[in-house]
Amino acid sequence: MKKLHSIIILVVLVVTQTSFCGDTLKVIYQKAIDAYESDDYEEAIVQFTKYLEVASSHDQGYYMRGNAYYKLKEIDNAVNDYAKAYELGFKDAVMFFKMAEYYRSHSNIESAFLFYVKTVESDNQYTEAFIELGKISMTRQDYQSAMEYFQKALALDPTLPDIIYSLGDAAYNQKNYPVALENYLTAIKLDSANYNFYYGAGMTYYETKDTESSLSSLIKSITIEPKFALGYYGLGRIYDNISDKEKAIENYTTAIYLSNSVLADSYIHQKRGIVYLKKGEIDSAYNDFEKALKLNPNDTISYLQRGKIFFLWGKDTAAIKDFSRVIFSDDKIAEAFTYRGVLLMKQLQDSLAELDERKAISLDPNDTLALFTLGNILMENDDYKNAVVFYERALKVNPKYGIVFENRGISYYNLGYYRMAASDFEAAMKYNPQLTTKLRPLYQDAKSR
């Protein structure tokens, strides 16, 4: 009986203690809630911490303490508590959105995307989350998904011009210019003071060859915001396209001065360098490509253009190195193969040169320099018949290519087609009078046969 009596006393004590503990936890939790609702977040954290030392599996306890930390801007602690609450099964759209924002601010884009998705899964009316999903999709170049997310955001709030503008950007990147322009113009109607909207419209007009409207929109963008670097960049593109090289350089220069983006600076230096190259200002072009490559060592186009300058300067080794770098990075750029092939031929590496020129032609069948060079390689190896084939193709692209007429004439001469050779020599002298002294004797000889 004494043993049974002891067991009964123990059970009563345990039950009483458990009941007391439960009652105490309820009191502590309520104190924490009261402190939180009274904006006493530090006290709330103290009480929630006491509570969670015992009730360590209570998801809402972590959520509420996370909210208190968030109010005090202790964001790391807040997100740690939110993560624990989520681990224990707690779901809340606002919590998920805060976590997504935190991860995005720390460049953890994958986690950010995941929690933006969880946000809209918990609350399909959460406009901001759809917008952020659209933005991340844009950075991933998943423009179709971006369109879908922006459309969902727009359905929730049809009056937000920024969403409509973003739809324009997604369509623009898909090269769906009519849809892009429609969205940009709608955004302008809703907010005519936003210079970005005019920039979007201006660049879309540029892509659709509407130069006048493009200029008008871009000038409007820099009128609204005179320090808008992209507006000047866009104007540089247009003036370059219409061969107004001076204005192109002027606007690119202003864009570089105003830009605060390293990658943007690199790209604009590249564009300005190309204009300098077109103008024949080789030193200025070279300096721009050098600057572009210092800012962005992966700028393939600047390697290509700098390689062309080395080619012009006779720095063959440096040129081959740059063209090879381009090919390694992007083996779809015909010009790199063309120029490297020319230099390999110059170094008497005809087999390698032929491979490069054939690759260039496969990428761009109208590359006259590649067609001409391949013809030259074949002619030097006494394959006059096939050389003529490639010279003919070059002349179909450029019917006034004097030096091609010269070399086709030589091939015809060696094949015994003297009248055709004489005709080609005559055309060569017509289109390139500087060849007259050289070709006159050959012309007369072929004509006499």
71 lies in some domain: yes
336 lies in some domain: no
- Of 196, 225, 254, which residue constitutes the final position of a domain? 225
Kindly state the average pLDDT of the residues 208-220. 96
Do 70 and 137 lie in one domain? The reply is no
Kindly state the average pLDDT of the residues 43-70. 93
Give me the helices (H) in 259-367, please.
Answer: 262-279, 282-295, 300-313, 316-329, 334-346, 350-363
What integer best gives the mean pLDDT of the chain?
92
**Structural domain that includes position 76:** 29-90
- Of 70, 90, 110, which residue constitutes the final position of a domain? 90
Q: What is the pLDDT of residue 10?
A: 38
Tell me the pLDDT tens digit for each residue of 410-433.
999 999 999 999 999 999 999 999
pLDDT at 21 exceeding the cut of 60 = no
d(CA 205, CA 40): 56
CATH number of the structural domain spanning residue 444: 1.25.40.10
Q: What is the pLDDT of residue 81?
A: 94
299 lies in some domain: no
Do 133 and 182 lie in one domain? The reply is yes
Cβ atoms of 306 and 289 within 8 Å: the answer is yes
198 lies in some domain: yes
112 lies in some domain: no
pLDDT at 345 exceeding the cut of 90 = yes
240 lies in some domain: no
Confidence of residue 9 (pLDDT cuts 50, 70, 90): very low
Do 133 and 76 lie in one domain? The reply is no
Q: In total, how many domains does the chain have?
A: 3
Confidence of residue 259 (pLDDT cuts 50, 70, 90): confident
pLDDT at 77 exceeding the cut of 90 = yes
Do 142 and 82 lie in one domain? The reply is no
Tell me the pLDDT tens digit for each residue of 117-133.
999 999 999 999 999 99
- Of 314, 312, 291, 317, give the one whose Cα is nearest residue 302: 291
Cβ atoms of 215 and 184 within 8 Å: the answer is no
CA angle, corner 269, sides to 265 and 271, nearest 5? 120
Q: What is the pLDDT of residue 260?
A: 80
Q: What is the pLDDT of residue 15?
A: 38
Could you tell me the two tokens for 258?
């105003």
Do 81 and 149 lie in one domain? The reply is no
pLDDT at 11 exceeding the cut of 50 = no
315 lies in some domain: no
- Of 175, 207, 225, which residue constitutes the final position of a domain? 225
d(CA 32, CA 51): 8
Residue 403 CB contacts under 8 Å (≥ 6 apart), including other chains: 372, 428, 432, 435
Exposed/middle/buried for residue 444 (C-beta within 10 Å: 0-12, 13-18, 19+) = exposed
Could you tell me the two tokens for 329?
């990075």
342 lies in some domain: no
The answer, as to whether pTM is greater than 0.85, is no
Exposed/middle/buried for residue 178 (C-beta within 10 Å: 0-12, 13-18, 19+) = exposed
Exposed/middle/buried for residue 87 (C-beta within 10 Å: 0-12, 13-18, 19+) = exposed
Cβ atoms within 10 A of the Cβ of 257, count?
A: 12
Do 129 and 75 lie in one domain? The reply is no
Which of 49-58, 165-174, 216-225 has the weakest average pLDDT?
49-58
Confidence of residue 353 (pLDDT cuts 50, 70, 90): very high
Tell me the pLDDT tens digit for each residue of 365-393.
999 999 999 999 999 999 999 999 999 99
d(CA 11, CA 43): 36
